């Protein structure tokens, strides 16, 4: 372990401002204080581009950039990110002039300036992410950082594995251009229906319904089960949970933050 302080460490070891670096890392979900101390002494942490290896270092996260293994550490006590399980016939909006049930009716007014990142159509169900972190929201919704989204779809009709593979390799042409699935797997089938798991990056409106509808297999039911590293899990319909710092960090990393 190096004995000399870096310039950044010296600047912050001589005052009591800010927060101890290992405490900040623990708050950001990097593990216990002891684990975070190991991360620092192993030379994996930078403050404003300066390598930090001394445990006495303090940092001001509002004005300094901290990175671990090159990835930015983002901690703001005012920011919150939610995973919400949207039921059918709930509008992916915070308000509706027609008086329909919206996401606000589920989360209430507990969180200031919170907004949904992406949408699910009115009759679809499953995972929606919400946040009041503007930077995270912009990255998740920007086409450059489109993350994988996983859906479970119940199709009207019996689809074959060949058709599934063709949707991945060739795709289909819709009104707004060609589109392919990233992955497609048949989970179950009967004489008149098929349960499939599909993964794709596109965030276009009603894209899964449009893809299967275009080849003659209308979607009876559609549930989104995962966005990037965040899974719906056993979250009950019409409820939500606050993402842990570990989950927020993995989501941020997935969209280049």
SS3 of 176-209: CEEECCCEEEEEEECCCEEEEEEEECCCCCCHHH
Question: Taking all residues of the chain, what is their mean pLDDT, rounded to a whole number?
Answer: 87
Residue 2: inside a domain = no
CA distances from 169 to 162, 165, 180, 230 (A): 10, 6, 7, 26
CATH at 116: 3.30.70.580
> What token pair was written down for 12?
């912050």
Say if residue 25 is in the same domain as residue 132. Answer: no
pLDDT in tens, 30-68: 877 888 888 888 989 888 888 988 887 898 877 888 888
pLDDT score recorded for residue 207: 94
pLDDT score recorded for residue 1: 40
Instruction: Check residues 198 and 27 and name the one with the higher pLDDT.
Output: 198
Confidence category of residue 16, pLDDT binned at 50, 70, 90: low
Active site residue 121: yes
**Strand, helix or coil for residue 245:** helix
Catalytic residue of the set 121, 123, 156, 182: 121
State the residue for tokens 């950039």: 65
Q: Which of 65-69, 70-74, 169-173 tops mean pLDDT?
A: 169-173
Say if residue 135 is in the same domain as residue 245. Answer: yes
| Domain range enclosing 209 | 148-227
Say if residue 47 is in the same domain as residue 163. Answer: no
pTM of the predicted structure, to 2 decimals: 0.79
Say if residue 116 is in the same domain as residue 138. Answer: yes
């Amino acid at each position: 372990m190096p004995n000399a302080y870096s310039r950044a460490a010296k600047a912050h070891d001589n005052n009591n401002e800010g927060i101890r670096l290992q405490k900040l890392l623990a708050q950001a979900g990097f593990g216990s204080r002891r684990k975070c101390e190991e991360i620092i002494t192993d030379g994996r942490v930078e403050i404003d581009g300066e390598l930090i290896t001394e445990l006495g270092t303090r940092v001001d996260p509002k004005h300094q950039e901290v990175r671990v293994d090159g990835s930015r550490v983002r901690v703001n006590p005012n920011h919150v990110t939610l995973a919400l399980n949207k039921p059918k016939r709930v509008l992916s909006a915070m308000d509706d002039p027609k008086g329909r049930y919206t996401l606000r009716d589920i989360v209430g007014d507990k969180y200031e300036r919170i907004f949904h990142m992406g949408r699910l159509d009115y009759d679809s169900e499953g995972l929606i992410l919400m946040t009041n972190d503007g930077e995270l929201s912009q990255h998740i919704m920007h086409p450059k950082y489109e993350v994988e989204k996983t859906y479970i779809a119940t199709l009207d009709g019996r689809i074959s594995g060949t058709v599934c593979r063709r949707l991945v390799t060739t795709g289909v042409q819709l009104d707004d251009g060609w589109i392919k699935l990233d992955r497609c797997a048949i989970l179950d089938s009967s004489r008149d229906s098929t349960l499939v798991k599909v993964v794709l990056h596109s965030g276009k409106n009603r894209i899964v319904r449009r893809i299967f509808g275009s080849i003659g297999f209308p979607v009876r039911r559609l549930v989104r089960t995962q966005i990037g590293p965040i899974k719906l899990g056993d979250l009950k319909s019409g409820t939500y949970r606050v993402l842990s710092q570990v989950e927020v960090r993995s989501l941020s990393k997935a969209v280049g933050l």
